[in-house]
Amino acid sequence: MRSRVVLLGDPVAHSLSPAMHNAAFAALGLDAVYEAQRVPPDCLAEAIAALRAPGSLGANVTIPHKERVLPHVDRLTETARHVGAVNTIVRLADGRLEGDNTDVAGFLDPLDHNPADLDALRDTEAVVLGSGGAARAVAYALLRHVGLAQLTLVARSPKRAEMLAADLAPFDERDALIVRPTAEGGAAIRAARLAVNATPVGMHPEEDATPWPHADDFAPGQIVYDLIYRPRPTRLLREAAARGAQPIDGLAMLVGQAARAFERWTGRSAPRSALAEAAGLL
C-alpha cells in the first residue's frame, strides 16, 4: 500500500512542501506521496482523524492550525508541548498520533554550523522581530539552547509579545526575556549579536519592504538571520551585509525542519539536497 503524508493548512496552494517531500521520497525510492490538503478550521478534527488510517505516515501542519491541533493528537513531544505549536504529526506504530515541532531544530541548524557557532552566542544579546508562531519557536530555541544574557522581543503588538514571554517564562532561567514595541527597539538591535526576523515583512512579492528600515543599526560582528526564504537575500539581509553583518537566510531552516519531519515519518535519513533542490532554492 502506498504511504501518505498530508499538509493541513489554509491556504496551502503555494506551499513548497509537496514538491520537497515527493522529491525526497523519490530519491530514496519510497512508495509514498505527500499531498497538500486545504482544511478550513471547522474541518480540522475530521482531517486529523483521517490520519489514523493505515497507510498514513502523518502530516505537516501550517497556518492557521499549528496551535489548534494540540487537543486533537494523542501525545506531544516535549518540544511541541513547550513551544505550544505543532508543525509535524507522526502516526505511531500503534496508530496513535504524536505532535512534534521541527521548526525549533530547523532554526538552530545554520547557527550550529560555521561561521556562527552557537557557543559564540553564549552570554550575548539577541533580538527577535515578531511575536507569531515562528517567533515562538525561535525564542524557545534560543532560551533552551543558547545561554543568552538578554533576549528582546521587538513587536508591533507588544501585548502579543508579552503573552509569548509569559508562556516561555518557565524556560527563561536567566531572566533574559524582555519586550519592546518596534519604535523602541533600536538600542536592542544595536546591542544584539544576533537579530532574527520572524515577521513576513520583506517576503515575496513585497520585496522592497524591510522589518528594520534603520540599516545603520547593523554593524560587523552581528548575525542577521531572516526566516524568509523568498527572496534570497531579502532587503533586510542585503542592507545588513552591506554594513558588515553576517547574513543567514531561511533556506537552511526550511530544509532542516522538513528533513526532521521526513525522518520522523519514514525512519530514514532525509536527502537534504533533494529537499533543497525541489524547493527551487539551490
Residues 9-38 that bind ligand NAP (CB under 6 A): none
Give whole-number Cα distances, 271 to 26, 36, 55, 252, 277, in Å.
Answer: 10, 20, 22, 13, 10
* Using rule CB under 6 A, residue 226 touches ligand NAP: no
The residues, ordered by sequence, that sit 6+ positions from 113 with a Cβ below 8 Å of its Cβ are: none
* Using rule CB under 6 A, residue 273 touches ligand NAP: no
Q: Which of 21, 65, 66, 193 is catalytic?
A: 66
Determine phi and psi for 222, rounding to 5 degrees: -95, 155
The residues, ordered by sequence, that sit 6+ positions from 177 with a Cβ below 8 Å of its Cβ are: 139, 143, 151, 152, 153, 165, 168, 169
Nearer to ligand NAP, 3 or 131 (CB): 131
Nearer to ligand NAP, 24 or 203 (CB): 203
* Using rule CB under 6 A, residue 131 touches ligand NAP: yes
Active site residue 66: yes
| Least Cβ distance, residue 228 to ligand NAP (angstroms) | 5
- Which DSSP category does 112 fall into? S
Nearer to ligand NAP, 3 or 59 (CB): 59
Query: Quick one: which of 103, 158, 108, 113 has its CA closest to 136?
Result: 103
Nearest-CB residue for ligand NAP:
132
Residues 179-208 that bind ligand NAP (CB under 6 A): 198-201, 203
* Using rule CB under 6 A, residue 254 touches ligand NAP: yes
* Using rule CB under 6 A, residue 101 touches ligand NAP: no
* CB atoms closer than 10 angstroms to residue 256: 23
* Using rule CB under 6 A, residue 133 touches ligand NAP: yes
Q: Is the link from the previous residue into 205 a cis peptide, with omega within 30 of 0?
A: yes
CA distance 196 to 89: 27
| Least Cβ distance, residue 15 to ligand NAP (angstroms) | 11
The residues, ordered by sequence, that sit 6+ positions from 150 with a Cβ below 8 Å of its Cβ are: 125, 126, 176, 178, 188, 191
Residue selected from 160, 232, 243, 272 as contacting ligand NAP according to rule CB under 6 A: 160
* Using rule CB under 6 A, residue 142 touches ligand NAP: no
* End-to-end alpha carbon distance in the chain: 33
* Using rule CB under 6 A, residue 155 touches ligand NAP: yes
* Using rule CB under 6 A, residue 110 touches ligand NAP: no
* Using rule CB under 6 A, residue 88 touches ligand NAP: no
* Using rule CB under 6 A, residue 269 touches ligand NAP: no
CA distance 61 to 80: 12
CA distance 169 to 268: 35
What SS3 state is found at 151?
Answer: strand
Q: Which amino acid is at 6?
A: V
Nearer to ligand NAP, 228 or 275 (CB): 228
* Using rule CB under 6 A, residue 257 touches ligand NAP: yes
Count of positions on this chain that bind ligand NAP (CB under 6 A): 26
- Interface residue list for ligand NAP (CB under 6 A): 63, 103, 106, 130-135, 155-157, 160, 198-201, 203, 211, 227-229, 250, 253-254, 257
Query: Which of the residues are catalytic?
Result: 66
